[in-house]
């Protein structure tokens, strides 16, 4: 402790100590200013496609909590394609998903969350899932959602993993192929947009909220000039990207969705994830218009 005090008393140490809060404030201001230039997803009927119970909390909690805000007038529903039965806990995990979704703000979870348990689509770290079968289950789920809502306008937006699947998990990666297969081959009530969650390198996964600054800075460098020329809207007037940054309350809610919702999954390494992962506090989505 005396050594630290002596360093702070030195001109260099004092300068660094005084600059840190200024730099942090500048980082926050830049990040929030950049986020404000991204139009929100509004008035959409959204289906979040996940592979396992707990994906919604571990990877998509900032997205869910933002999109369920009443001011945006979205509907948010979740399709989970397995019960996560790799360790024989499928029945427990299916119930945990409903509790987690409710904590994250998804309304009427008994009608807004569908979980599948198909024999050919099971939780596996080594097996990919057939895209045509996933598309069939998507079609069945969307029909059930329409019936539960009294035949109102169907889903017009998918959100799922990108081709990196955050962790290269084959089940995660399969969902993108299944969603694209559905969009290519199935008749739809309306045009469906597809947004994917950006996979970042491993050294950025565990810097928590700091990656919001890194992401917005990279986004500004890569797309700033192009956006000025072409605008921020993509296909059919939809935003080309969407970014969601949680506040402290939302971050703590995301953690509770794991610690209180998915109790069966809280092994030691997941404590590190819910504390350090950027996906617990920040999501960036990209509009995917390539259906090949």
Span between the terminal Cα atoms of the chain, in Å: 60
Total of domains in the chain: 2
Tell me how far apart the alpha carbons of residues 234 and 94 are, in angstroms, rounded to a whole number.
36
Shared domain check, 65 and 25: no
DSSP state of 233: B
Shared domain check, 56 and 13: no
Instruction: List the CATH number of the domain containing 273.
Output: 3.40.50.10320
**pLDDT, tens only, 188-244:** 877 899 999 999 999 999 999 999 988 888 887 877 655 544 455 656 678 999 999
pLDDT for the residue numbered 101: 98
**pLDDT, tens only, 9-41:** 556 554 554 554 555 545 554 455 656 667 789
Mean pLDDT of 128-147: 95
Q: What angle do CA 270, 271, 274 make, to 5 degrees?
A: 80
Shared domain check, 221 and 94: yes
**pLDDT, tens only, 91-129:** 999 999 999 999 999 999 999 999 999 999 999 999 999
Q: Which whole-number Å values give the CA distances from 98 to 56, 92, 231, 265, in the listed order?
A: 11, 10, 39, 14
Shared domain check, 248 and 121: yes
Shared domain check, 16 and 106: no
Shared domain check, 10 and 136: no
Shared domain check, 223 and 172: yes
The secondary structure of 163-207, three-state, reads: CCHHHHCHHHHHHHHHHHHHHHHCCCCCCCEEEEECCCCHHHHCC
**Domain region containing 11:** 1-36
């Amino acid at each position: 402790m005396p050594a630290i005090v002596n360093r702070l008393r030195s001109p260099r140490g004092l300068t660094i100590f005084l600059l840190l809060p200024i730099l942090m404030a500048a980082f926050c201001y830049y990040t929030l200013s950049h986020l404000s230039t991204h139009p929100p997803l509004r008035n959409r009927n959204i289906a979040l496609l996940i592979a396992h119970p707990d994906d919604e909390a571990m990877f998509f909690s900032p997205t869910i909590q933002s999109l369920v805000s009443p001011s945006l007038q979205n509907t948010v529903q979740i399709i989970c394609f397995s019960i996560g039965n790799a360790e024989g806990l499928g029945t427990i995990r299916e119930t945990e998903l409903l509790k987690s979704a409710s904590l994250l703000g998804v309304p009427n979870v008994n009608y807004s969350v569908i979980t599948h348990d198909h024999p050919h689509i099971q939780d596996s770290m080594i097996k990919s899932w057939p895209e045509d079968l996933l598309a069939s289950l998507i079609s069945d789920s969307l029909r059930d959602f329409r019936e539960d809502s009294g035949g109102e306008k169907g889903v017009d937006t998918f959100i799922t993993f990108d081709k990196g699947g955050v962790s290269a998990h084959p089940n995660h990666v399969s969902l993108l192929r299944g969603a694209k297969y559905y969009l290519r081959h199935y008749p739809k009530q309306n045009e469906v947009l597809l947004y994917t969650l950006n996979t970042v390198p491993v050294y950025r996964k565990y810097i928590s909220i700091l990656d919001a600054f890194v992401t917005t800075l990279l986004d500004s460098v890569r797309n700033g000039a192009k956006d000025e020329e072409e605008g921020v809207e993509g296909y059919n007037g939809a935003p080309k990207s969407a970014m969601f940054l949680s506040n402290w309350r939302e971050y703590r809610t995301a953690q509770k969705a794991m610690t209180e919702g998915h109790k069966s999954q809280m092994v030691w390494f997941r404590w590190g994830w819910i504390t350090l992962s950027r996906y617990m506090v920040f999501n960036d989505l990209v509009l995917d218009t390539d259906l090949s």
